[in-house]
Structure 1
């Protein structure tokens, strides 16, 4: 029998760095969409389906793979997932038809759920006092991976073409696999039933816990707004008045990292503020970001401030959402996280899909209207239902 895991700083750093490197695979494509469209001689709408497929694949991985974190040995599960990731990256590199990119990115998304196995571990094996800060640290690695991946892939795409990014990603994943194999502890599974009963228990948790449903809706609507922006930003910046390429588009990931890092310390506010107030403040920051993203969206400074506020509000609300629902049942953290993260990435896919349509109809103004609407729904749900759920 394996011993209970003690969450050491080295383990926390391993999970944080790995989370960033793995989740980056999902977002490399966003600054590269124009290059991919040019290579395959297709339009913007066609290549915009690539991130949609990736996010939908991620949602499927969350639903069917992450619950296994409560049932099987987690290190073995992580290592198998990383093998699938490496195979998909190689497939993308050699793809000759657009349908191959769709399929490979869908499977890549499904296999890239490793960070969502680490976040529950951080919650499960942290003390109550350190839970928010430890979740925040792993989530910072994840969000930095999302944001910095866009900057890195934009630079690589401009210098060597979009395919080179995926060859580099293969090397990073081989390095990651080695680190996990040698260093990651392997906590004892908590669930003893069958796989079908495991999945049924996920559905039962969604029905049973109103706090989990509320957190899931808030997270989905917040992430939908962010996805709308980053899916369309490449098209916005390549037109007037900017006329810039993938490198500049990707650099907005570095800008967003400022907000992400600031939000990592949100756990400190739990000593003075209630969770309700912290989430409310985070959602208000999200809505404020659209004042700059749309109101000054034809300027660099407006987009910079808007993206910083967007990532700050998103990350802060995300950490607090997870702090809320992980406390429901510490022995079912992977299944609780499944409900939340499936909702979260369905929201992201919805934001990406509707943003593509809004861009076709009304360009940047349409995208901002869509993003603001999603974030407003998150705030309204919180104001209307949160006090009943918390009491």
Structure 2
């Protein structure tokens, strides 16, 4: 059957726009806080709401992708994500904003359904290329979405950002219904079967170690991107949301620079790449911590951090899907639970720490998360080496 270039592009756009809604608040946190009267120490919960919604969606909505027609599911989840974004755009109280962002995050797991549908519509010889192209949309949405959000917020305010996002999501939902083919599957798993498969993964050492690495990895990632707007909007810089959003270009360059991580993993170097990238992640905070004094070190640090995060993320998923080739949806969905928990922790913790210890405190926090990920990697590598050693029979 194969997947046409037009459909591959549509899938990448769906991933980019859906995931952008989870991160769009990051460059405009200060603006939202001023408008709704949110204390600085609590601003991190605005981003965490979307992350926690995404976490819930991974647990309860992703299994639907193995049960119902994925074309209809994609369109429905895009429409519901749009409803969440529209609610956030019209919020006059923080509670309403959090509900809207939580709903947008909940249904943004359409990304996982889209990736699974990409694999289903691809021929074996093009599956890797198609998956790479579609998942690049996720990177574009996470990092490029910040640039767009900052620019839109400067022109139309933060509410205009979410209204534009809602309009895009509705357009994509209509396009998906009109142009995507019906789901080719003739049999479907039950909800209980999918959940049982997912639960069983949490007893496996490889899955747990890679999940914990992802937890600390994205806690460090969230510490940067949910907190960076605060020192940049403060003295001596006083940058606008659009200017803050431009830092996403540096992050995008770093993340896309890690595209070769998949090829490195294919050659059997996934574990070595993980260790080296985590060391880079920890070191990047030395430069990022200079934000109150100089911006160029921050640009370099952001490039290195996003390169490291993407390299580890690709290596993790490569190892897990290679180990579980017949249940990739369950293993990626379960792995992404760690991702969401870590991102939410970083988002909530960085603003709390910033309010009491400034950006230096937030930078130490990000480096500690990176160090914890490195320790998990070292421990799992040592355990694997021990298990591979021949046992002496005395």
1:103-148 per-residue CA deviation (whole Å, 9 max, x = no partner) reads 1111111011111223344566768887665544333211111111
Going from structure 1 to structure 2, the CA distance change for 1:131 and 1:308 (only over 3 Å counts) comes to farther
Going from structure 1 to structure 2, the CA distance change for 1:315 and 1:85 (only over 3 Å counts) comes to same
Alignment of 1:92 with 2:54, yes or no, is no
Tell whether the 8 Å contact from 1:69 to 1:189 is kept in structure 2 after alignment. no
Alignment of 1:29 with 2:25, yes or no, is yes
**Residue of structure 1 equivalent to 2:221:** 226
Deviation, 1:354, is: 1.5
- SS of the equivalent of 1:161 reads helix
Q: Distance in 2 between matches of 1:292 and 1:261?
A: 20
1:222-263 per-residue CA deviation (whole Å, 9 max, x = no partner) reads 111111111111111112321212111111112211012111
**Residue of structure 2 equivalent to 1:71:** 67
Q: Distance in 2 between matches of 1:247 and 1:199?
A: 42
**Residue of structure 2 equivalent to 1:293:** 288
Alignment of 1:382 with 2:392, yes or no, is no
1:356-383 per-residue CA deviation (whole Å, 9 max, x = no partner) reads 2211221101111111111111111112
**Residue of structure 1 equivalent to 2:171:** 175
1:288-345 per-residue CA deviation (whole Å, 9 max, x = no partner) reads 2112112566211111001111111111111111111112333322211121001111
Residue 146 of structure 2, aligned match among 131, 150, 154: 150
Residue 253 of structure 2, aligned match among 246, 250, 258: 258
Normalising to structure 2: TM-score of the pair? 0.90
Q: Distance in 2 between matches of 1:6 and 1:127?
A: 5
Alignment of 1:212 with 2:197, yes or no, is no
Equivalent residues, number: 385
**Residue of structure 2 equivalent to 1:110:** 106
Residue 314 of structure 2, aligned match among 296, 310, 319: 319
- SS of the equivalent of 1:154 reads helix
What stretches of structure 1 of length at least 5 have no aligned partner?
Answer: none
Going from structure 1 to structure 2, the CA distance change for 1:175 and 1:291 (only over 3 Å counts) comes to same
**Residue of structure 1 equivalent to 2:156:** 160
Going from structure 1 to structure 2, the CA distance change for 1:154 and 1:259 (only over 3 Å counts) comes to same
**Residue of structure 2 equivalent to 1:192:** 189
Normalising to structure 1: TM-score of the pair? 0.91
Single out whichever of 230-239 and 71-80 deviates more from structure 2: 71-80
Tell whether the 8 Å contact from 2:44 to 2:350 is kept in structure 1 after alignment. no
Q: Distance in 2 between matches of 1:34 and 1:382?
A: 36
- SS of the equivalent of 1:153 reads helix
Single out whichever of 342-351 and 257-266 deviates more from structure 2: 257-266
Alignment of 1:6 with 2:2, yes or no, is yes
Q: Distance in 2 between matches of 1:389 and 1:65?
A: 34
Tell whether the 8 Å contact from 1:20 to 1:142 is kept in structure 2 after alignment. yes
Alignment of 1:362 with 2:357, yes or no, is yes
Q: Distance in 1 between matches of 2:282 and 2:136?
A: 21
Please report the RMSD computed on the Cα atoms of aligned residues, expressed in angstroms.
Answer: 2.3
Alignment of 1:19 with 2:22, yes or no, is no
Tell whether the 8 Å contact from 1:72 to 1:189 is kept in structure 2 after alignment. no
Going from structure 1 to structure 2, the CA distance change for 1:282 and 1:118 (only over 3 Å counts) comes to farther
